[in-house]
C-alpha cells in the first residue's frame, strides 16, 4: 500500500475531516520492525556524515528545496552543535557495502536556537516560555528508490527519531517544518499539531512551510486511543512505543569528552570543516 497515493486522491480533500482521517488511518500498511538488509543507527564516522549530507543534498535539489552546491553536501550551521545528531538508515548491497537510504537530524534547543527560528520564532517562543525542552527534526531525506511503497523505511525512521528524542535528548516536544503537501501524513496519521504556516520559507528556497509540534508526554496516549484496537501489524501505537527499541545513548550528564566521542562529534566537525574548506576553494579564482 502506498500512503502517498491514498493521500493524493482528490476525493479526500472534499470529505469531512473525520471521514478523511478514518480512511487514511484504515489504509495504513503492515508495520515491520525489521527489514532484511536494512539497519538504522546514528552517523558516527566521516563516511557516515558525508553519505548522509550527500543524500540530503541530492534529494533537496531534486525537490527544489535548495540549489546545487559544490561539494554536493547539505550542511546547516546547527549541525556543528555538540548535541546535534545525524541519524541514518542503510541498506547492505550485494558487495556488502552500506548504501544510505534515509537520514534525519535532531537539533536540541539551546542558546544557538533552532533552524526553524528563521521562520517560526514567535511560535517556538510560546513553547520555550512554558519551560519545555524542544528538539527540532530536520534535514529529512529518503532515497528515491525507497521513498514509495509501504513507507516502512520512513516509519522506522520515525521510531528511531522518537527513541532518541525521548531517551537521549530528554525532549518534551518534537518540532518540525514540512511542505504543505506532507501535512496530512503528520496531522492525520502521526497526530502532530500545526502551530504555524508561511507561504515562503527562505530555508528551503522560498517554498511554503508548515510548522508542527508533537507533545512527547501525551503522544503515546493519543496514539493508543486511535490505534490501540487495531491488529498489531497496523497498530501505530504498538509499533512506535512497544515493538522494541534501539540502544539508549549516553545521558547528557556524562562528561563532555565522553559525550563528544559518543556523538561522533570529532568526525562531524572534520566533515564540516572539510566542507567549508572546499567551499572557500571554489570561491577563489583558479
Same domain, residue pair 142 and 45: yes
Pairing assessment for the beta strands 173-178 and 98-108 based on DSSP bridges: unpaired
Residue 96 lies in a domain: yes
Q: Are residues 113 and 25 in the same domain?
A: no
- Each of the 286 residues of the chain gets a pLDDT tens digit; together they read 344 454 555 666 677 776 777 777 777 878 888 888 888 988 888 888 999 999 999 999 999 999 998 889 999 989 988 889 999 999 887 776 778 999 999 999 999 999 999 999 999 999 999 999 999 999 999 998 877 665 788 889 999 999 899 988 999 999 999 999 888 889 999 999 999 999 998 888 899 999 999 999 999 999 999 999 998 988 999 999 988 654 444 344 444 444 444 445 566 666 766 665 555 444 444 3
The answer to whether residue 243 is domain-embedded is no
Pick the closest to residue 87 from 161, 169, 151, 32 (CA basis): 161
Does the predicted TM-score (pTM) go above 0.85? Answer: no
Q: How many structural domains does the chain have?
A: 2
* 3-state SS assignment for residue 252: coil
Q: Which residue, 53, 109, 108, is CA-closest to 268? A: 53
The pLDDT value recorded for residue 38 is: 87
Residue 179 maps to a domain: yes
Are the C-beta atoms of residues 196 and 123 closer than 8 Å to each other?
A: yes
55 assigned to some structural domain: yes
Please tell me the distance from the alpha carbon of residue 238 to that of residue 232, in angstroms, as a whole number.
Answer: 7
For residues 4 and 94, membership in a common domain is answered with no
| Domain identity same for 14 and 75 | no
Say if residue 277 is in the same domain as residue 137: yes
| Residue 252 located in a structural domain | no
Dump pLDDT digits (tens) for 31-81.
Answer: 888 888 888 988 888 888 999 999 999 999 999 999 998 889 999 989 988
Residues 3 and 135 in one domain: no
Same domain, 10 and 89: no
Cα 115 to Cα 2, 91, 92, 127, 198, distances in angstroms = 31, 29, 32, 15, 15
Same domain, 51 and 92: yes
Amino acid at each position: 500500500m502506498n500512503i502517498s497515493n491514498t493521500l493524493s486522491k482528490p476525493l479526500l480533500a472534499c470529505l469531512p475531516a473525520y471521514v478523511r482521517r478514518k480512511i487514511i488511518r484504515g489504509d495504513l500498511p503492515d508495520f515491520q520492525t525489521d527489514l532484511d538488509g536494512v539497519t538504522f543507527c546514528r552517523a558516527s564516522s566521516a563516511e557516515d556524515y558525508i553519505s548522509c549530507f550527500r543524500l540530503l543534498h541530492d534529494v533537496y535539489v531534486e525537490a527544489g528545496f535548495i540549489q546545487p552546491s559544490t561539494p554536493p553536501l547539505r550542511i546547516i550551521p546547527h549541525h556543528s552543535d555538540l548535541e546535534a545528531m545525524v541519524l541514518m538508515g542503510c541498506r547492505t548491497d550485494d558487495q556488502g557495502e552500506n548504501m544510505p537510504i534515509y537520514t534525519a537530524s535532531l537539533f536540541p534547543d539551546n542558546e544557538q536556537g533552532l533552524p526553524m527560528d528563521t521562520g517560526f520564532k514567535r511560535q517556538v517562543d510560546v513553547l520555550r516560555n512554558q519551560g519545555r525542552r524542544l528538539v527540532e527534526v530536520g534535514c529529512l531525506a529518503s532515497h528515491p528508490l525507497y521513498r514509495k511503497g509501504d513507507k516502512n523505511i520512513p516509519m522506522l525512521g520515525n521510531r528511531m527519531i522518537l527513541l532518541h528524542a525521548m531517551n537521549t535528548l530528554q525532549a518534551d516536544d518534537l518540532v518540525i517544518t514540512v511542505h504543505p503537501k506532507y501535512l496530512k501524513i503528520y496531522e492525520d496519521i502521526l497526530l502532530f499539531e500545526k502551530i504555524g504556516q508561511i507561504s515562503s520559507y527562505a530555508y528551503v528556497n522560498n517554498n511554503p512551510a508548515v510548522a508542527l509540534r508533537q507533545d512527547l508526554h501525551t503522544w503515546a496516549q493519543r496514539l493508543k486511543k486511535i490505534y490501540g484496537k487495531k491488529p498489531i501489524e497496523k497498530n501505530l501505537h504498538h509499533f512506535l512505543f512497544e515493538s522494541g527499541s534501539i540502544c539508549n545513548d549516553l545521558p547528557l550528564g556524562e562528561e563532555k569528552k565522553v559525550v563528544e566521542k559518543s556523538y561522533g562529534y570529532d568526525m562531524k566537525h572534520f566533515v564540516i570543516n572539510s566542507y567549508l574548506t572546499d567551499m572557500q576553494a571554489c570561491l577563489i579564482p583558479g
